[in-house]
Amino acid sequence: MPEDNMDKPNIVTCTAPVNIAVIKYWGKRNEELILPINSSLSVTLHQDQLKTTTTVATSRSFQEDKIWLNGKEEDITHPRLQSCLREIRRLARKRRNDRGTAVDSTCLSHKVHICSVNNFPTAAGLASSAAGFACLVYSLARVFGVEGELSGIARQGSGSACRSMYGGFVQWIMGQQDDGKDSLAQQVEPETHWPELRILVLVASAERKPIGSTSGMQTSVQTSCLLKYRAESVVPGRMVEMTEAVRRKDFPAFAELAMKDSNQFHATCLDTYPPIFYLNSVSHQVINLVHCYNRHYGETRVAYTFDAGPNAVIFTLQQHVTEFVQVVQHFFPPEINGGQFIKGLQVNHADLSEELKQNIGLEQMPKGISYIISTTAGPGPCVVEDPTQHLLGSDGLPK
Ligand code: DP6
């Protein structure tokens, strides 16, 4: 390396997606390694609508590891962050030793600066930790020259993050080993498999922040016998059924299973002592709306799923998107001056029949939903080649 380049940082920028589980992960058998009590399956959402961008820089001149999240410097000593950094450096060292490279070509001894932003508001209450840790691990791997299986490291940042390491339809196999080496994510089908599948995130106007997943699931493992039953006797069969429904692109089977699994997850939250409530009155009304809509047509055209918060994620097929969005807008009349109600992929306008509105027959809930993000299944993490997109400057500080 020429002398004047010695202190120039090595910079990499990557993006990673959010994922939404249709067979839920809830409960750990090992807190430190983040090993789950059951397998889970998710759909990776498209990064055009929801993504994390992370820039990682290494340089001889950096004094210490540092991290900035959404514009604010955060504590790098966070144990899960440390796990990811340690595991990537361990892999990089192993690779160097295996290859017998004499020179420290992977800047292994250098400190790292990390800067990360989301393209969606944290206030949207969408689990940003999955995209965040997936992006961190993917970017660190690039900067340290590590390749291959990385979901086992992302898992140690946040369980659901391992599923954001792949696009399309992804399963996290719980594994059996105590060291967690077999607890990994795997792609079931790529994002191109089911182009008709559409996803709507209905952002509920949440009043307060619910209990976090990490502590919520701890209490559930300690107190809910329903959760134990679910993990041992329900999820194994559902994983097989869900994988097959995805492979066959069988929307009714996929949709019913997704709704039942979301409902069972929230039932285990109620069975937790003291109970945990993630759904609010808007969530309950969305559930009613979906069932009334499906009953009107005598078939399952729309499904919902909810994570550890009140926002609904809706699955439907391309041909029903326009009408269902109109139905949501009718039963949850939005704030007039509130800007755009539908963000993301374009949804056309349609007029609803009086018969449909009457058959659904629910009370309207004005302003119950702040806005809708319209999206599809999408690809896994990517490298951003354009250097103007780096979030860190050549001085290693946020731009
Ligand atoms: C309800 O992955 O956020 O979204 O592993 O403690 O970081 P930690 O929890 P996290 O839990 C996600 C729970 C869920 C269901 C799911 O995504 O499968």
If one residue of 33, 122, 160 were mutated to test the ligand 1 pocket, choosing by the most ligand atoms within 8 A of its CB, it would be: 160
- pLDDT score for 4: 45
pLDDT at 17 over 60: yes
Q: What is the pLDDT confidence band of residue 95, given thresholds at 50, 70 and 90?
A: confident
Average pLDDT, stretch 17-25? Answer: 98
Distance CA 92, CA 96 (A): 6
Average pLDDT, stretch 330-355? Answer: 87
> What's phi and psi for 302, nearest 5 deg?
-140, 145
Ligand 1 atom having least distance to the Cα of 158: 7
pLDDT at 123 over 60: no
Ligand 1 atom having least distance to the Cα of 42: 18
What domains are defined for the chain? 3-194 (3.30.230.10), 197-375 (3.30.70.890)
Q: What is the pLDDT confidence band of residue 131, given thresholds at 50, 70 and 90?
A: very high
Query: Which residue's alpha carbon is at the smallest distance from atom 7 of ligand 1?
Result: 158
- pLDDT score for 177: 98
What count of other Cβ atoms lies within 10 Å of the Cβ of residue 335? 13
The alpha-carbon radius of gyration of the chain (Å, integer) is 22
308 lines ligand 1 (CB under 6 A): yes
Residue partners of 71: CB distance under 8 A and separation at least 6: 117, 398
Per-range mean pLDDT, top range of 202-216, 309-323, 330-344: 309-323
The answer to whether residues 328 and 283 touch, using CB atoms and an 8 Å cutoff, is no
**276's tokens:** 């945990």
CA of 206 to the centre of ligand 1 (A): 19
Q: Whole-number mean pLDDT of the chain?
A: 93
Adjacent-strand bridge partners of 314: 200, 304
Distance CA 310, CA 332 (A): 15
Average pLDDT, stretch 134-150? Answer: 96
The answer to whether residues 44 and 164 touch, using CB atoms and an 8 Å cutoff, is yes
Q: Is 162 helix (H, G, I), strand (E, B) or coil?
A: helix
Ligand 1 atom having least distance to the Cα of 130: 2
Structure pTM?
Answer: 0.96
